[in-house]
Homo-oligomer: A and B are copies of this chain.
Amino acid sequence: MKKVNDTLDWPALIAAQPAAGLIPEPLREMAKRVDAEASETLFRVGDPVLHVYLVISGEARLTRLGRNGREVILQRSRGGFIAEASLDSRTYHCDAIAAEPTTLLLFPTAAFRVALGAEPSFCKAWQSQLAREVRKLRAQCERLSLPSAADRINHYIESEGTDGAVTINQSRKSWAAELGLSHEALYRALRRMQDEGVLEVDGNRLISKP
């Protein structure tokens, strides 16, 4: 986890990552930039919550290992904050890894909390952030409650895509994990849906056909 000491170009950053625009000035100056390699660990279960993480580029994931060794993906972030809900915890309740070469900004939690108390607009934005996460997770629960692979795929297209189409920005294998399926089941479901003519697959683009 390489720490980089550049002067950050905030205007450009905000253009790329709107979530960064929430950060008030005094907090910005405390940001540390970090470049993580693929599959590098950012923190682990039980680690003290020292920083708030903002993903600039690449992808960070929250995961937890089940008893059976199955990896469950709890959150996937390609831009924006990760582990927002840990801000008022003392320690993490899951692991975080970089899924690919990833650049992040780290803000000291203490200063972050101070800024939340001092800046009402920041506080408000942070609440929206949490509320968005809640809605996203509810959609995820709804999806995982569906019994069949095809239903989960359709639900994904409807809730994550637009106009009946979605672009998968991850490997099929990890998408399968996100859908709570074995990767084989996902491949076969995609194949079956194509054969039935209800789905068009073009690389990473999925188009549902009525």
**How many angstroms between the C-alpha atoms of A85 and B141 in the bound complex?**
15
- Tell me whether A128 and B88 are in contact (CB under 8 A): yes
Interface members, chain A 139-181 (any B CB < 8 Å): 140-142, 144-147, 151, 177, 180
Q: Quick check: is A120 within 8 A (CB to CB) of the other chain? A: yes
Are A127 and B88 CB-contacts (below 8 A) given A93-B135, A144-B145? yes
Determine the residue in chain B with the shortest Cβ distance to A128. B88
A33–B152 alpha-carbon span in the complex (Å)? 39
Q: Mark A96-139, 1 if CB is under 8 A from B, else 0.
A: 00000000000000000000110010011011101111110110
User: Do A145 and B84 touch across chains, with their CB atoms under 8 A apart?
Assistant: no
The residues of A with any CB-CB pair to B shorter than 8 Å are: 62, 64, 66-68, 70, 72, 74-75, 84-89, 93-94, 116-117, 120, 123-124, 126-128, 130-135, 137-138, 140-142, 144-147, 151, 177, 180
